[in-house]
Structure 1
């Protein structure tokens, strides 16, 4: 994957995902199973395995879900080049009404 430590990699991936327009946040999965466990904390929504990276996100209402998922995949691929990246959109955050 990369020469980064698992902590640096998980944090960098999470940061890249959250910077993608349309992403409301990282999602822990249906049963809270998606995360990278680090000393003293957990990066929710990012699972790093030997086979690649699995990310689960919540998107904002009204965005093109497929385009947002592709943008997330591309953002993660820049941080973890050569990795297989699987993106799951778990939820849609309702629009904030004024």
Structure 2
């Protein structure tokens, strides 16, 4: 059995933002995607018991599917929970 690695929303945020072509995290269509912490929230990362969601805006310099795969690989190697990546937008040049 694989034991979960203690990973915080801050750790996941840093991993995601380190992926080439990621411009920023995105709050989702209605601003609902976030992890709430004491006194602050991390927009674009939703930590659940059975799922981690990552919502981002990309630059579009790399194929979107490739960027999504890189984000998934970066996060999935650090957690034991399934990771879903959502490309919410491509930034204007």
Runs (4+) of structure 1 exceeding 3 A deviation are: none
Residue number in structure 2 paired with 1:19? 18
Give how far 1:94 is off: 1.5
Residue number in structure 1 paired with 2:40? 41
Q: Tell whether 2:34 aligns with 1:31.
A: no
Once residues 89 and 71 of structure 1 are traced to their aligned partners in structure 2, the CA distance between those partners, rounded to angstroms, is: 12
Q: Tell whether 2:91 aligns with 1:88.
A: no
Once residues 11 and 87 of structure 1 are traced to their aligned partners in structure 2, the CA distance between those partners, rounded to angstroms, is: 16
Once residues 62 and 3 of structure 1 are traced to their aligned partners in structure 2, the CA distance between those partners, rounded to angstroms, is: 33
RMSD: 1.1
Residue number in structure 2 paired with 1:62? 61
- Tell me the secondary structure at the aligned position of residue 28 of structure 2: coil
Q: Tell whether 2:5 aligns with 1:2.
A: yes
**Structure 2 unaligned spans of 5+:** none
How many residue pairs match? The answer is: 90
- Tell me the secondary structure at the aligned position of residue 79 of structure 1: coil
Once residues 3 and 85 of structure 1 are traced to their aligned partners in structure 2, the CA distance between those partners, rounded to angstroms, is: 15
**Structure 1 unaligned spans of 5+:** none
Give the TM-score normalised by structure 1: 0.87
Which one has a larger percent helix, Structure 1 or Structure 2?
1
Once residues 6 and 54 of structure 2 are traced to their aligned partners in structure 1, the CA distance between those partners, rounded to angstroms, is: 20
Give yes or no for contact 1:59–1:89 (8 Å, CA) kept in 2: yes
